[in-house]
Amino acid sequence: MPNSHIPVITIDGPTASGKGTVAHKVADKLGFHCLDSGSLYRLTALTAIRRGSDLHDEHAIAKLAEHLPVSFAGGEILLAHENVSQAIRAEEVGNMASQIAALPTVRQALYALQLGFRKAPGLVADGRDMGTVIFPNAQLKVFLTASVEARAQRRYKQLIDKGFSANMEDLLSDLQARDDRDTHRAIAPLVPAEGAHFLDTSNMTADQAIEQVLQWYAHLK
Protein backbone atom coordinates (compact mmCIF):
# COMPACT_ATOMS: atom_id res chain seq x y z
CA MET A 1 0.00 0.00 0.00
CA PRO A 2 1.50 3.37 -1.02
CA ASN A 3 2.33 5.47 2.02
CA SER A 4 -0.01 8.30 0.97
CA HIS A 5 -2.98 5.90 0.99
CA ILE A 6 -2.44 4.71 4.56
CA PRO A 7 -5.21 6.23 6.69
CA VAL A 8 -4.26 8.85 9.27
CA ILE A 9 -6.29 10.39 12.08
CA THR A 10 -4.78 13.54 13.58
CA ILE A 11 -5.72 14.79 17.03
CA ASP A 12 -4.35 18.23 17.80
CA GLY A 13 -4.93 20.39 20.86
CA PRO A 14 -3.39 22.25 23.79
CA THR A 15 -1.44 20.75 26.68
CA ALA A 16 -3.40 18.42 29.02
CA SER A 17 -6.53 18.44 26.87
CA GLY A 18 -6.61 14.64 26.93
CA LYS A 19 -5.56 14.16 23.31
CA GLY A 20 -2.87 11.62 24.20
CA THR A 21 -5.26 9.33 26.03
CA VAL A 22 -7.86 9.62 23.27
CA ALA A 23 -5.29 9.01 20.53
CA HIS A 24 -3.88 5.86 22.15
CA LYS A 25 -7.31 4.37 22.84
CA VAL A 26 -8.59 5.15 19.33
CA ALA A 27 -5.46 3.56 17.89
CA ASP A 28 -5.99 0.47 20.05
CA LYS A 29 -9.62 0.16 18.95
CA LEU A 30 -8.71 0.43 15.26
CA GLY A 31 -5.50 -1.58 15.45
CA PHE A 32 -3.54 1.44 14.19
CA HIS A 33 -0.08 2.67 15.10
CA CYS A 34 0.10 5.71 17.39
CA LEU A 35 2.38 8.73 17.33
CA ASP A 36 2.65 10.94 20.41
CA SER A 37 4.47 13.78 18.69
CA GLY A 38 4.70 15.80 21.90
CA SER A 39 6.86 13.05 23.39
CA LEU A 40 9.48 13.71 20.70
CA TYR A 41 9.88 17.27 21.94
CA ARG A 42 9.90 16.06 25.54
CA LEU A 43 12.54 13.47 24.67
CA THR A 44 14.63 16.18 23.05
CA ALA A 45 14.17 18.36 26.12
CA LEU A 46 15.08 15.51 28.49
CA THR A 47 18.22 14.76 26.48
CA ALA A 48 19.17 18.46 26.45
CA ILE A 49 18.66 18.74 30.22
CA ARG A 50 20.72 15.63 30.90
CA ARG A 51 23.54 16.90 28.70
CA GLY A 52 23.42 20.41 30.10
CA SER A 53 22.78 21.84 26.63
CA ASP A 54 22.25 25.57 26.20
CA LEU A 55 18.56 26.19 25.45
CA HIS A 56 19.57 29.18 23.33
CA ASP A 57 21.86 27.08 21.10
CA GLU A 58 19.18 26.21 18.58
CA HIS A 59 21.43 24.20 16.28
CA ALA A 60 22.81 22.07 19.13
CA ILE A 61 19.25 21.26 20.28
CA ALA A 62 18.26 20.44 16.69
CA LYS A 63 21.23 18.07 16.42
CA LEU A 64 19.98 16.20 19.47
CA ALA A 65 16.50 15.97 17.93
CA GLU A 66 17.83 14.77 14.58
CA HIS A 67 19.62 11.80 16.15
CA LEU A 68 17.03 10.96 18.79
CA PRO A 69 17.24 7.20 19.56
CA VAL A 70 13.50 6.88 20.21
CA SER A 71 11.22 3.87 20.00
CA PHE A 72 7.73 3.04 21.23
CA ALA A 73 6.90 -0.39 22.65
CA GLY A 74 3.83 -1.60 24.50
CA GLY A 75 2.71 1.90 25.37
CA GLU A 76 6.15 2.76 26.75
CA ILE A 77 8.54 5.40 25.42
CA LEU A 78 12.13 4.28 25.08
CA LEU A 79 15.20 6.46 24.74
CA ALA A 80 18.16 4.31 23.70
CA HIS A 81 16.43 1.31 25.37
CA GLU A 82 15.75 3.23 28.62
CA ASN A 83 12.10 3.52 29.62
CA VAL A 84 11.59 7.26 30.09
CA SER A 85 7.77 7.26 29.98
CA GLN A 86 7.55 8.91 33.39
CA ALA A 87 10.73 10.98 33.26
CA ILE A 88 9.51 13.00 30.28
CA ARG A 89 6.30 13.95 32.13
CA ALA A 90 8.14 16.04 34.73
CA GLU A 91 7.09 19.70 34.60
CA GLU A 92 10.67 20.89 33.98
CA VAL A 93 10.83 18.72 30.89
CA GLY A 94 7.39 19.82 29.70
CA ASN A 95 8.21 23.50 30.07
CA MET A 96 11.47 23.14 28.16
CA ALA A 97 9.76 21.06 25.48
CA SER A 98 7.25 23.85 24.90
CA GLN A 99 10.08 26.34 24.48
CA ILE A 100 12.20 24.27 22.10
CA ALA A 101 9.09 23.42 20.05
CA ALA A 102 9.15 27.06 18.94
CA LEU A 103 12.62 26.62 17.40
CA PRO A 104 12.35 26.19 13.58
CA THR A 105 15.45 24.00 13.23
CA VAL A 106 14.22 21.62 15.93
CA ARG A 107 10.83 21.25 14.24
CA GLN A 108 12.55 20.58 10.91
CA ALA A 109 14.82 17.97 12.50
CA LEU A 110 11.80 16.05 13.79
CA TYR A 111 9.70 16.40 10.62
CA ALA A 112 10.98 13.34 8.74
CA LEU A 113 11.00 11.27 11.93
CA GLN A 114 7.28 11.89 12.39
CA LEU A 115 6.40 11.10 8.77
CA GLY A 116 8.04 7.71 9.25
CA PHE A 117 5.33 6.65 11.70
CA ARG A 118 2.76 6.45 8.86
CA LYS A 119 2.61 2.70 8.39
CA ALA A 120 -0.12 0.20 7.51
CA PRO A 121 -2.78 -0.43 8.60
CA GLY A 122 -3.05 3.19 9.79
CA LEU A 123 -1.89 5.87 12.20
CA VAL A 124 -3.39 8.03 14.92
CA ALA A 125 -1.14 11.03 15.52
CA ASP A 126 -1.57 13.51 18.34
CA GLY A 127 0.17 16.82 18.85
CA ARG A 128 -0.19 20.47 17.94
CA ASP A 129 0.53 20.52 14.20
CA MET A 130 -0.34 17.01 13.07
CA GLY A 131 -3.27 18.10 10.92
CA THR A 132 -1.83 21.44 9.82
CA VAL A 133 1.80 20.59 9.00
CA ILE A 134 2.79 16.94 9.34
CA PHE A 135 -0.26 15.14 7.90
CA PRO A 136 -2.35 17.83 6.15
CA ASN A 137 -3.99 15.14 3.96
CA ALA A 138 -5.20 13.06 6.94
CA GLN A 139 -8.55 11.34 6.46
CA LEU A 140 -9.85 12.68 9.80
CA LYS A 141 -8.64 15.74 11.68
CA VAL A 142 -9.75 16.47 15.23
CA PHE A 143 -9.05 19.58 17.30
CA LEU A 144 -9.48 18.46 20.90
CA THR A 145 -9.59 21.11 23.61
CA ALA A 146 -10.83 21.85 27.13
CA SER A 147 -10.93 24.83 29.47
CA VAL A 148 -7.63 25.73 31.13
CA GLU A 149 -9.20 24.98 34.53
CA ALA A 150 -10.24 21.47 33.45
CA ARG A 151 -6.81 20.85 31.97
CA ALA A 152 -5.05 22.02 35.15
CA GLN A 153 -7.18 19.65 37.22
CA ARG A 154 -6.30 16.75 34.93
CA ARG A 155 -2.60 17.56 34.94
CA TYR A 156 -2.64 17.90 38.75
CA LYS A 157 -4.23 14.46 39.15
CA GLN A 158 -1.86 12.95 36.57
CA LEU A 159 1.23 14.28 38.34
CA ILE A 160 0.05 13.30 41.83
CA ASP A 161 -0.88 9.80 40.64
CA LYS A 162 2.63 9.39 39.22
CA GLY A 163 4.33 10.55 42.40
CA PHE A 164 5.30 14.06 41.29
CA SER A 165 4.62 17.12 43.44
CA ALA A 166 2.19 19.66 41.98
CA ASN A 167 0.69 23.06 42.78
CA MET A 168 -2.61 24.06 41.17
CA GLU A 169 -1.78 27.77 40.84
CA ASP A 170 1.57 26.98 39.24
CA LEU A 171 -0.08 24.52 36.86
CA LEU A 172 -2.66 27.10 35.76
CA SER A 173 0.07 29.66 35.17
CA ASP A 174 2.24 27.18 33.28
CA LEU A 175 -0.63 26.02 31.05
CA GLN A 176 -1.60 29.60 30.20
CA ALA A 177 2.04 30.40 29.35
CA ARG A 178 2.31 27.29 27.17
CA ASP A 179 -0.96 28.08 25.41
CA ASP A 180 0.34 31.56 24.65
CA ARG A 181 3.64 30.24 23.29
CA ASP A 182 1.99 27.48 21.27
CA THR A 183 -0.64 29.71 19.65
CA HIS A 184 1.62 32.66 18.92
CA ARG A 185 4.84 31.02 17.73
CA ALA A 186 5.91 31.91 14.20
CA ILE A 187 6.41 28.30 13.09
CA ALA A 188 3.47 25.86 13.09
CA PRO A 189 1.33 27.62 15.72
CA LEU A 190 -1.42 25.68 17.49
CA VAL A 191 -4.51 26.29 15.35
CA PRO A 192 -7.31 24.02 14.15
CA ALA A 193 -6.52 22.35 10.83
CA GLU A 194 -8.73 23.11 7.87
CA GLY A 195 -11.77 20.85 8.05
CA ALA A 196 -11.03 19.72 11.60
CA HIS A 197 -13.80 18.49 13.91
CA PHE A 198 -13.90 20.40 17.20
CA LEU A 199 -14.15 18.36 20.40
CA ASP A 200 -14.38 20.17 23.75
CA THR A 201 -13.75 17.63 26.50
CA SER A 202 -14.17 19.97 29.49
CA ASN A 203 -17.28 18.07 30.60
CA MET A 204 -16.67 14.75 28.88
CA THR A 205 -15.13 11.50 30.04
CA ALA A 206 -12.27 9.99 28.08
CA ASP A 207 -14.56 7.17 26.92
CA GLN A 208 -17.07 9.68 25.52
CA ALA A 209 -14.35 11.51 23.63
CA ILE A 210 -12.95 8.26 22.24
CA GLU A 211 -16.40 7.15 21.08
CA GLN A 212 -16.98 10.48 19.32
CA VAL A 213 -13.72 10.21 17.36
CA LEU A 214 -14.51 6.61 16.41
CA GLN A 215 -17.96 7.67 15.20
CA TRP A 216 -16.49 10.43 13.05
CA TYR A 217 -14.03 7.98 11.52
CA ALA A 218 -16.71 5.35 10.90
CA HIS A 219 -18.81 7.91 9.01
CA LEU A 220 -15.93 8.50 6.58
CA LYS A 221 -16.19 4.96 5.24
Extract the annotated binding site for ATP. 13-21
Estimate to the nearest angstrom the gap between the alpha carbon of 76 and the chain centroid. Answer: 14
Q: For residue 169, list its beta bridge partners.
A: none
Residue 199: what are its φ and ψ, rounded to 5°?
-140, 105
187: exposed, middle or buried (Cβ count in 10 Å: 0-12, 13-18, 19+)? middle
Secondary structure E strands in the chain:
8-12, 33-36, 70-73, 76-79, 82-83, 123-127, 140-145, 197-200
Mark the binding-site residues, compressed into ranges. 13-21
